Amino acid sequence: MSRLEIRELVIDVPERRSGQALSLSIEPGQVWGVLGPNGAGKTTLLHTLAGLRAPRAGQVLVDGRPLAALGRRQVARTLGLVFQDRQDGFPATVRETALIGRHPWLSAWQMEGGEDLQLAEAALARLDVDHLAERLVSTLSGGERQRLAIATVLTQAPQIWLADEPTNHLDLHHQTAVMALLAEQAAEGRAVMMCLHDLNLAARWCDHLLLLYPDGEACWGPRDAMLVPAALEALYGQRLATAEIDGAPVFVPVR
């Protein structure tokens, strides 16, 4: 059974009259990349798949069950979302922030226990922010916050990862480390879908791609079928030079 199935889905992008209906299935072990220019609806798509906003039409099935019929808590146990931007409300430490990932797993009266703390500590260590555990989130750099956000979802331990530009603010090493983490999650039988701006990360780490055009058109399929230079140039309105390194294509924008 597909982890995440999208049936005739039209996302609700403001000011956009029509959009192509998306129908695709994300199977366990797959890593999907969503590519498209600014404003094409990548974030809206992820939020719709997470049930945070209603689609204009169509349906999302999580493990075969309609998303709209599931409770928020049930959704949060299955599906985790790495947000693109975050708000700081009140001061909180890094450890407390990672621990909120346990929220869907605890009953109302339950305090976070030793096991939850272990999961959070392990996630912080995996994302290389364990040395910051006592620091206030407001004192972190952008990249450290990004890694903390991913560690929080890792603590949440979902079967479906939706990640909105997970490599934002990250240095080259940590970009690779995060992509390796997501690939590892998929290899363990989970499903991953992420929005990316870096074509080369998409080409290297994703096995399927979804291209969203600003006018609402879309196309999707296995990576190699989608990485057509002409299609990518049309997607971004940007000329690209293509090279090949270790048998994989590399795209460089040119003037």
Binding site for another protein (CB under 8 A): 47, 50-52, 71-77, 80-81, 83, 86-87, 89-92, 95-97, 99-101, 103-104, 106, 108-109, 111-114, 116-117, 156
Which amino acid, residue 14?
Answer: P
**Residues contacting 8, CB < 8 A, separation 6+:** 21, 22, 23, 57, 58, 59
- Residue 236 CB, shortest distance to another protein, in Å, is 27
Least distance between another protein and beta carbon 134 (Å): 12
Residue nearer to another protein on the CB measure, 84 or 176? 84
Helix or strand (DSSP H, E) at 98: helix 94-99
d(CA 86, CA 139): 14
Residue (35 or 162) nearer to another protein, CB: 162
- The closest alpha carbon to 223, from 245, 197, 203, 244, belongs to 203
CB of residue 103 to another protein, shortest distance in Å = 5
> Which CB sits closer to another protein, 73 or 131?
73
Give min distance, CB of 56 to another protein, in A. Answer: 15
CB-nearer residue toward another protein: 86 or 126: 86
CB of 89 to another protein, least distance (A): 4
Give the Cα-Cα-Cα angle 43, 120, 93 (nearest 5 degrees): 80
Nearer to another protein, 64 or 90 (CB): 90
**Best CA proximity match to 214, nearest among 44, 43, 36:** 36
